Amino acid sequence: MQEYFSHKFALKASPLGMIFHIYKLCYAKVKYFDQNWEDFTPCIYNWQSGLFEETRLSDMEFIKHLSSGIILDLRNLARVNRYEDFLALCHYLDDQKALASSG
């Protein structure tokens, strides 16, 4: 059985931080999404309908960017290893939000 986090970690981490820890997402990703969470919603894929559906944070497997509709798979987000690549993603998402709010 894999231990995802200690009791001490669970007491000080946010729910989003705990989920990101399970998916092995780095601190920069936790910080960005924690600070910008109002721009996103947790989702899960419904194989029966073939659609992504909003869900509780505790069931989240995907994150939907509300302004653009872009869906990020947490497993793929964990594979972004270069900080520069993550920054590029953040800038892209921020630009999409700015475009949606100006148009």
* One-letter amino acid for residue 16 of the chain: L
- The CA radius of gyration of the chain, in Å to the nearest whole number, is 14
Within 10 A of 28 (CB to CB), how many other CB atoms are there?
13
pTM (two decimals):
0.80
> Measured between alpha carbons, how far is 57 from 89 in angstroms, rounded to an integer?
22
Question: Per-residue pLDDT for the chain (103 aa), expressed as one digit of tens each?
Answer: 444 444 454 455 677 777 777 788 888 888 899 999 999 999 999 999 999 999 999 899 999 999 999 999 999 999 999 999 999 999 999 999 999 888 6
